[in-house]
């Protein structure tokens, strides 16, 4: 694993894509078959193949316990090392003690031998499983001869190399290593669900014979948000179709013979929580891989996501729960039908294949769509939007009819149009001078939520730079200067009285702010002069939105 560690360090040290690919290609080309399989998987961040149903189920605690046995260190040293890097692999690498004296029987870590040990970890079951995993983990760490090897062994165990490498780059490197077309390597990887197998097929010039591996999840294609507005320049090129944006759980359905699998966006199994969807899929003729959304439905109308939550928390739901929250899988794309792998076919063709392959029955539906006329005015888009909302859906997804299915990518082929559903009302607690054009105004606001309805303790949750008009910013600058309470490095704390409504993409746990949460892409939607600071949102509301978001992504994990 020393060569693996060296190549990873070299990849991390350069931002140039071409250099990364060149270094990786040279390394992959030098490997024997089993090492090639394992190293390709590790590089793409997967300790096991994507098609493998098993999980490593190894947490930081197990790794730490094992590491303590091997390199005896105390918690203070670990704390310091972790704070320096924020990465468990780097932290443990820094604590790497003297390597054991090599003996004739000492294990040596190669990509293939590490893969075999990971396989042992993934196969552990039954009583004392945690202890057995820890033991194998200890064997892995003991086999490390130099600290960089240990760093990467730990990173592989945690499933994240953090060296600026995406699977796409690894596939390009495989193509470069064996002189194949990047497109055919990518396609084969999608079909096979295992970068390792694809690397060997590329080496042996067998890419075209790779078969669709049903029951191995494929990355989901994602949509980019567009702003609800008075014009839609994004739609100027190409022809588009419009679907409702369902407020449910994204899922990929695989049916091959009598085998049915339903995967969530995190590739976890969603089938056991939704048996009626699985049986509706099983009743279909033919084999396919479909993309769609699981929605809660009552009397033909979509129910908001929160209705799905009780279903998510239950595997094998009771009859009662099933009739209380009826669900359906609404299919909107076909990735494979029979032996045809469709991801590089245009959407128009995939939709036609979908309609031909699927017989809507029971809990299985075909997503209705409409063609958007070329140069359709914004009023037409809004009309479709309102109609979708009346059906209980969140908004629209607009898709270019000539688009391929691009797994794992948020591109401009699919656009989502919605109005923010959950925003937070927060109070501004500190302000800073802006930059450039805004250097003379206080345009950067730190805002907070209340600890609870009873307590008026304010807990910061984020900082936003944009969203208000120049006039609003100028007026507020005067107000903030008059209501300064304490000076800071770049700005100052202000009386908490200005309430702003904040939209955001995601809530994350974070030590950065007092609330313990941070918002991704926070933006000020509007000022709320109508709302007193005593009535802003609370930490509890933040936790609620966070839990809802996790449930939506995690599906029966």
Catalytic residues: 245
Q: In this structure, are residues 416 and 395 in contact, taking their beta carbons and an 8 Å threshold?
A: yes
Q: How far is the CB of 367 from ligand AMP (least distance, A)?
A: 6
304: how many CB neighbours lie within 10 A of its CB? 15
Q: How far is the CB of 137 from ligand AMP (least distance, A)?
A: 35
Q: How far is the CB of 391 from ligand AMP (least distance, A)?
A: 12
Distance in angstroms (rounded) separating the CA atoms of residues 269 and 263: 5
Q: How far is the CB of 330 from ligand AMP (least distance, A)?
A: 8
Site residues (CB under 6 A) for ligand AMP, limited to 14-53? none
Q: Give 322 or 416: the residue with its C-beta nearer to ligand AMP.
A: 416
In the structure encoding, which two tokens stand for residue 440, read together? 């003379």
DSSP letter, residue 219 = P
Q: How far is the CB of 397 from ligand AMP (least distance, A)?
A: 4
Angle, to 10 degrees, between the axis of helix 17-29 and the axis of helix 2-13? Answer: 170
User: How many residues bind ligand AMP, per CB under 6 A?
Assistant: 11
Which three-class secondary structure string do you get for 477-538? HHHHHHCEEEECCCEEEECCCCEEEEECCEEEECCCCCCCEEEECCEEEEECCCCCHHHCCE
261: how many CB neighbours lie within 10 A of its CB? 21
- CB contact set of 446 (below 8 Å; sequence gap of 6+): 428, 429, 430, 431, 432, 460, 462, 463
Q: How far is the CB of 55 from ligand AMP (least distance, A)?
A: 22
Site residues (CB under 6 A) for ligand AMP, limited to 364-393? 367
Q: Give 182 or 225: the residue with its C-beta nearer to ligand AMP.
A: 225
H or E stretch including 298?
strand 288-298
Q: Give 419 or 435: the residue with its C-beta nearer to ligand AMP.
A: 419
Site residues (CB under 6 A) for ligand AMP, limited to 325-354? 332
- Give the strand pairing for 410-418 and 424-433: unpaired
Question: Where do the DSSP E strands lie in 219-287?
Answer: 222-226, 240-245, 249-256, 259-264
- Four-CA torsion 397, 401, 406, 411, nearest 10 degrees: -50
Distance in angstroms (rounded) separating the CA atoms of residues 238 and 241: 10
Q: How far is the CB of 313 from ligand AMP (least distance, A)?
A: 19
Q: Give 389 or 483: the residue with its C-beta nearer to ligand AMP.
A: 389
Q: Give 141 or 331: the residue with its C-beta nearer to ligand AMP.
A: 331
Q: In this structure, are residues 419 and 395 in contact, taking their beta carbons and an 8 Å threshold?
A: yes
Q: How far is the CB of 414 from ligand AMP (least distance, A)?
A: 6
Q: Give 237 or 421: the residue with its C-beta nearer to ligand AMP.
A: 421
Give residue number: closest CB to ligand AMP.
Answer: 250
Describe the chain by its helix, strand, coil percentages, rounded to 5.
Answer: 40, 25, 35
Site residues (CB under 6 A) for ligand AMP, limited to 187-226? 222-223
- CB contact set of 361 (below 8 Å; sequence gap of 6+): 280, 283, 284
Site residues (CB under 6 A) for ligand AMP, limited to 397-456? 397, 416
Q: In this structure, are residues 491 and 442 in contact, taking their beta carbons and an 8 Å threshold?
A: yes
Site residues (CB under 6 A) for ligand AMP, limited to 500-539? none
114: how many CB neighbours lie within 10 A of its CB? 26
Question: Torsions phi, psi of 547, nearest 5?
Answer: -65, -40
Q: How far is the CB of 288 from ligand AMP (least distance, A)?
A: 17
238: how many CB neighbours lie within 10 A of its CB? 14
Site residues (CB under 6 A) for ligand AMP, limited to 257-316? 293
H or E stretch including 24?
helix 17-29
Q: Give 293 or 537: the residue with its C-beta nearer to ligand AMP.
A: 293
Binding flags for ligand AMP, 105-144, as an x/- string (CB under 6 A): ----------------------------------------
Task: Label residue 169 exposed, middle or buried (CB < 10 Å: 0-12, 13-18, 19+).
Answer: middle
Q: Give 248 or 271: the residue with its C-beta nearer to ligand AMP.
A: 248
Site residues (CB under 6 A) for ligand AMP, limited to 219-258? 222-223, 243, 245-246, 250
Q: Give 1 or 417: the residue with its C-beta nearer to ligand AMP.
A: 417
Note the residues at the interface with ligand AMP (CB under 6 A).
222-223, 243, 245-246, 250, 293, 332, 367, 397, 416
């Amino acid at each position: 694993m020393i060569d693996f560690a060296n190549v990873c360090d070299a990849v991390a040290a350069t931002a140039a894509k071409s250099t990364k690919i060149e270094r990786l290609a040279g390394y992959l080309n030098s490997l024997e078959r089993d090492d090639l399989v394992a190293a390709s998987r590790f590089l793409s961040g997967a300790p096991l193949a994507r098609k493998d149903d098993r999980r490593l189920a190894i947490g930081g605690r197990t790794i730490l316990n094992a590491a303590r046995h091997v390199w005896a260190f105390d918690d203070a040293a670990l704390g310091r090392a972790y704070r320096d890097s924020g990465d468990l692999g780097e932290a443990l690498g820094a604590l790497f003690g003297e390597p054991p004296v090599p003996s004739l029987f000492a294990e040596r870590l190669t990509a293939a031998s590490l893969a075999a040990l990971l396989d042992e970890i993934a196969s552990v079951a039954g009583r004392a499983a945690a202890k057995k995993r820890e033991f194998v983990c200890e064997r892995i760490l003991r086999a490390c001869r130099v600290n960089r090897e240990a760093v990467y062994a730990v990173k592989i165990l945690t499933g994240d190399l953090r060296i600026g490498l995406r699977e796409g780059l690894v596939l390009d490197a495989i193509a470069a290593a064996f002189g194949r077309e990047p497109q055919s390597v990518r396609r084969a990887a999608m079909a096979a669900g295992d970068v390792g197998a694809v690397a060997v097929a590329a080496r042996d010039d067998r890419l075209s014979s790779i078969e669709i591996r049903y029951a191995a999840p494929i990355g989901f294609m994602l949509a980019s948000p567009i702003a609800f507005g008075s014009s839609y320049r994004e739609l100027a090129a190409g022809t588009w179709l419009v679907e409702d944006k369902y407020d449910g759980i994204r899922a990929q359905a695989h049916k091959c013979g009598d085998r049915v699998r339903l995967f969530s966006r995190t590739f976890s199994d969603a089938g056991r929580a939704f048996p009626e969807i699985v049986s509706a899929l099983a009743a279909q003729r033919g084999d396919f891989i479909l993309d769609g959304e699981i929605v809660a439905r009552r009397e033909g109308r979509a129910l908001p996501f929160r209705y799905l939550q009780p279903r998510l928390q239950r595997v094998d739901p009771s009859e009662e729960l099933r009739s209380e929250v009826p669900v359906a899988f609404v299919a909107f794309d076909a990735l494979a039908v029979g032996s045809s792998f469709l991801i590089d076919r245009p959407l128009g063709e995939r939709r036609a294949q979908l309609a031909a392959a699927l017989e809507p029955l029971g809990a299985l539906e075909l997503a209705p769509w409409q063609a958007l006329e070329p140069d359709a005015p914004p009023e037409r888009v809004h009309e479709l939007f309102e109609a979708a909302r009346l059906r209980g859906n969140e908004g629209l997804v607009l898709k270019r009819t000539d688009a391929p299915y691009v797994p794992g990518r948020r591109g401009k082929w699919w656009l989502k149009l919605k109005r923010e559903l959950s925003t937070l009302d927060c109070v501004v607690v500190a302000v800073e001078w802006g930059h450039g054009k805004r250097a003379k105004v206080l345009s950067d606001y730190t805002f907070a939520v209340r600890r609870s309805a009873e307590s008026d303790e304010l807990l910061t949750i984020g900082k936003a730079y944009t969203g208000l008009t120049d006039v609003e910013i100028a007026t507020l600058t005067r107000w903030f200067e008059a209501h300064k309470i304490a000076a800071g490095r770049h700005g100052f704390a202000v009386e908490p009285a200005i309430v702003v409504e904040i939209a955001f993409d995601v809530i994350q746990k974070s030590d950065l702010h007092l609330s313990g949460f941070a918002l991704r892409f926070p933006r000020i939607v509007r000022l709320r002069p109508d709302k007193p600071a005593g009535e802003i949102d609370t930490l509890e509301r933040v936790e609620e939105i966070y839990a809802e978001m996790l449930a939506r992504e995690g599906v029966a994990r």
